[in-house]
Amino acid sequence: TCHAFQRAKQLRISVESLYPRPGWVELDPEVLWSQFIGVIKEAVQAAGLHMRQIAGVGISTQRGTFITWHKRTGKPFHNFISWQDLRSAELVNSWNNSLLLKVIHVIFTVLHFLTGNDRFLAPSFLTFSTHQASMKLSWVFKNIHEVKAARKNNCCFGTVDTWLLYRLTKGSVYATDYSNASSTGIFEPFTKCWNPTLCNLLSIPVSIYPPVRDTSFNFGSTDSEIFGVPIPIMAVVADQQSAMFGECCFHPGDVKLTMGTGGFWNVNTGEHLFAARGSLYPLIGWKIGEEVVYLTEGSISDVGTAIKWALDIELFTDVDETAEMAQSIADSQGVCFIPGLQVSGDDPYLCASFMGLKPSTNRNHLVRAILESIAFRNKLLYDIIVRKVHIPLRTIRADGGVSNNSFVMQMTSDLINKKIEKPANTEMSSLGAAFLAGLASGFWTDKKQLKKLRQVEAVFEPQKDSEEYRPAMDAWLQAMKHSPHR
């Protein structure tokens, strides 16, 4: 219900990361599980409801975080390895610079050119990233003895959604959906199956992967001991794809911009795959029955992360102050913020820094520099999308916590010279999961009903010519070229 959703929105799970070694980022699976159950119970109670009134549950989770566990005992072999984890960085760099990967690119580029068949597109742009599970999973099989010992018949792999499904059903359901599977880097989006060739190259047994189901689908019910009654699990979806669905970006050319911890641009490409080496990658948005919707995604790091860091070091006391601080000065006085607090898929060794500091630099300049860096990177990624995705772009809809920052939103609108809509509710991942669960349970019958539920709070339209930002953006680009590395 609406009340339960609104309360749950305020009780989002926030599991503290563990850092056992430099560059390693993990999550305790038992802490995640207990917080997950606690949030659901508290949200239902706060809404004045009983568990027996819940018609269905939709689960939206982050994508690149994964775990492996023993099939028979259910015991994890290790903590969740986060999408931010860097333990596979050397392996990623080695593969991306390898002769073998270059040969793969050439072969599949030629096949795609000769046949025009989209099944050859994804391999032609295959690039590994520290964000994806693929290389970290390869690392796990090379370095964790218990996983190597169980690899034949007793090892299960799962992203967060699969683990939660397994626990909610006390081991009776082992599955994932197409949106989560396509985000691992091991699932072939066109053929819609786990890639056996890639698994062989990375020495990962195909047998460890879960069956893949539709996104809006009856996955089974929670065990009655957990909530007192069995509750149907009617949708499982990856967070960015869920936000896309929550924004009602149902048509080819619809664009969603999520600005949370990181920034994600997603374009609905309908039945077609689009990619660009090193910047855009194809995903399955959702699969509902016979309908399969593809997305093209590009990402940037250090969006919400940079703002939270600035709050932690007391550049300001409330994030709501930041837009006003940035607007209180004419420019950043030449100060540039270089992102690097969060893992970057393009350059995992980049260090965060400020460049151009002067005796006259104050907090307002530093805050403006951080916010400008978000808008500049939005502009760069949008330009790549325009060049590479050969579909007319339609509406652009923003969500995530940073979409509440009017300075970032207006500057992004000015730079790309496009209107950007911001919904009344910016927690689109939760809403998308609810929409998908509602469709599967029959609460809603079609997407037209969902569109009527959309509420737009603000529309940002271009107010300045993008050329007015040219000197500041050129200075930032130069600073990026000379940025320090770990």
Complete DSSP assignment for 230-270: --BEEEEEEHHHHHHHHTT--STT-EEEEESSSEEEEEEEE
pLDDT value, residue 484: 64
**H or E element that contains 187:** strand 187-188
pLDDT value, residue 329: 96
Q: For 365-376, write each residue's pLDDT tens digit.
A: 999 999 999 999
Amino acid type, 262? G
- Under DSSP, is residue 102 helix (H, G, I), strand (E, B) or coil? helix
pLDDT value, residue 459: 97
Q: Report the share of the chain in percent with pLDDT over 90.
A: 70
Complete DSSP assignment for 322-377: HHHHHHTSSS-TT-EEEP-SS--SS-TTBPPEEES--TT--HHHHHHHHHHHHHHH
Report d(CA 476, CA 371) in Å as an integer.
12
Residue with tokens 């930032």: 476
Q: For 223-254, write each residue's pLDDT tens digit.
A: 999 999 999 999 999 999 999 999 999 999 99
pLDDT band (50, 70, 90) for residue 2: very low
Residue with tokens 């189901």: 213
Which stretches of 9-131 are assigned E, i.e. beta strand? 26-27, 57-61, 66-70, 80-81
Residue 152 clears pLDDT 80, i.e. is over it: no
For strands 263-270 and 420-423, give the pairing: unpaired
pLDDT value, residue 349: 57
- Under DSSP, is residue 298 helix (H, G, I), strand (E, B) or coil? strand
pLDDT band (50, 70, 90) for residue 344: low
Residue 326 clears pLDDT 90, i.e. is over it: yes
Residue 124 clears pLDDT 90, i.e. is over it: no
Which tokens is 84 given?
């931010």
Residue 14 clears pLDDT 70, i.e. is over it: no
pLDDT value, residue 13: 64
pLDDT value, residue 278: 66
Which tokens is 307 given?
């703002």
Amino acid type, 425? N
Which tokens is 12 given?
């989002």
**H or E element that contains 434:** helix 428-441
Q: Is the dihedral of CA 417, 422, 427, 433 positive or negative?
A: negative
Q: What is the CA radius of gyration of the chain?
A: 22
- Under DSSP, is residue 193 helix (H, G, I), strand (E, B) or coil? strand
Q: For 284-316, write each residue's pLDDT tens digit.
A: 999 999 999 999 999 988 898 899 999 999 999
Of 368, 371, 466, 460, nearest in space to 423 by CA? 460
CB 125 within 8 A of CB 181: no
Q: For 444-476, write each residue's pLDDT tens digit.
A: 999 999 999 999 999 999 999 999 999 999 999
**Mean of the per-residue pLDDT values of the chain:** 90
Report d(CA 397, CA 378) in Å as an integer.
13
Report d(CA 143, CA 120) in Å as an integer.
32
pLDDT value, residue 221: 97
pLDDT band (50, 70, 90) for residue 10: very low
Report d(CA 108, CA 102) in Å as an integer.
10
CB 147 within 8 A of CB 141: yes
pLDDT value, residue 350: 63
- Under DSSP, is residue 462 helix (H, G, I), strand (E, B) or coil? coil
How many residues are there in the chain?
486
Which tokens is 280 given?
């855009």
Section 477-482 average pLDDT: 89
Residue 485 clears pLDDT 70, i.e. is over it: no
Q: For 351-407, write each residue's pLDDT tens digit.
A: 789 999 999 999 999 999 999 999 999 999 999 999 988 899 999 999 999 999 999
Report d(CA 284, CA 290) in Å as an integer.
13
pLDDT band (50, 70, 90) for residue 80: very high
Residue 486 clears pLDDT 70, i.e. is over it: no
CB 440 within 8 A of CB 59: no
Which one is predicted more confidently, 175 or 63? 175
pLDDT value, residue 362: 96
pLDDT value, residue 9: 43
Residue 82 clears pLDDT 60, i.e. is over it: yes
